Amino acid sequence: MNTDELNRFLARAFADRKLSGTERAALADWLSQHVRTDQHRGLARHAAFEIARSAPPSSDVIDWLEAVMKVLAPLAPSPASAPADEVLFAPGDACRQRIVSRFAACRRTADVCVFTVTDDRITKAVLDAHARGVRVRLITDNEKQHDAGSDVARIRAAGIAVKVDDMTEAAEPGANGHMHHKFAVLDGARVLNGSYNWTRGAGELNFENVVDSADPVLVMAFAAEFARLWARF
């Protein structure tokens, strides 16, 4: 699917940070003519997220992106396709395997926001995606990055952009707490989120969960949170 025409349309529609009724109808018409598969729809979502990322995070940007996502969201899931949303549980390998498989399928962007990263198998999947040309960004906790077994230094050394919550203003909300999120937004079209820390112990010892979702409203919300924290740290 050639997305050049879509990119030009989205850029024009983004100029005033509003999606008018006429623009919404034109976007829906373009999708009906050009989007044939879930992959095509994912590419269209990615294009919208890239346009939104070109400007500083703001409520207008989030409102525009939400309006676009409502048009891009499929009206109904294809019965022949894999579930768009699924929940995995630990103990066991299901959570880790899903994280690794989603990174293996990632092609463009991976925005990762996790408290700690020590599982070398997950780290390898992240580094492999980076080596394929995926633009990976990582936000993690400033204290946990120094834990024994932490892979953050290894990820940073590979050339991946890393930020931590090392805020200096004690009065700022969150300054004395932890960056405790555990989520990743992949290709602007899917989010992994849950209690599951990216550690071996999470899969082998703990009762944990990972929600794997392509819901555009959830994806948009997590992408906006990542953008807010990336700008803040």
Give the residue from 51, 72, 93 where a domain finishes: 72
pLDDT 10s digits, 27-61: 887 887 787 777 777 788 888 888 988 888 888 88
Residue 44 contacts residue 30 (beta carbons within 8 Å)? no
Give the residue from 72, 106, 126 where a domain finishes: 72
199 and 134 together in one domain: yes
Structural domain count of the chain: 2
In this structure, is residue 80 part of a structural domain? Answer: no
Q: How far is the C-alpha of 153 from the C-alpha of 16, rounded, in Å?
A: 41
Q: Which domain holds residue 134?
A: 85-232
Which residue of the set 141, 151, 187, 212 is catalytic?
Answer: 187
Q: How far is the C-alpha of 179 from the C-alpha of 147, rounded, in Å?
A: 15
pTM score of the predicted model: 0.69
100 and 53 together in one domain: no
In this structure, is residue 206 part of a structural domain? Answer: yes
134 and 163 together in one domain: yes
Helix (H) or strand (E) holding 86: strand 85-90
20 and 106 together in one domain: no
List the Cα angle 21/25/26 in 5-degree steps.
115
In this structure, is residue 119 part of a structural domain? Answer: yes
Residues 6+ apart with CB under 8 A from 15: none
53 and 123 together in one domain: no
Residue 70 annotated in active site: no
Task: Name the least confident of 1-15, 66-80, 118-132.
Answer: 66-80
What pLDDT sits at residue 97? 95
In this structure, is residue 64 part of a structural domain? Answer: yes
Which residue of the set 120, 182, 212, 215 is catalytic?
Answer: 182
In this structure, is residue 77 part of a structural domain? Answer: no
Q: What is the CATH number of the domain that holds 172?
A: 3.30.870.10
pLDDT 10s digits, 139-152: 999 999 999 999 99
Helix (H) or strand (E) holding 164: strand 161-164
134 and 222 together in one domain: yes
* Helix/strand/coil for 10: helix
What pLDDT sits at residue 53? 87
Residue 187 annotated in active site: yes
In this structure, is residue 79 part of a structural domain? Answer: no
134 and 57 together in one domain: no
Q: How far is the C-alpha of 140 from the C-alpha of 179, rounded, in Å?
A: 6
Which residue of the set 93, 180, 181, 215 is catalytic?
Answer: 180
37 and 105 together in one domain: no
In this structure, is residue 158 part of a structural domain? Answer: yes
99 and 121 together in one domain: yes
22 and 89 together in one domain: no
Residue 182 annotated in active site: yes
Burial class of residue 164, CB neighbours in 10 A (0-12, 13-18, 19+): middle
Q: How far is the C-alpha of 110 from the C-alpha of 162, rounded, in Å?
A: 12
- For 99, 100, 129, the CA distances from 114, given in Å and listed in that order, are 12, 15, 17
Of the pLDDT bands very low, low, confident and very high (cuts 50, 70, 90), residue 171 is: low
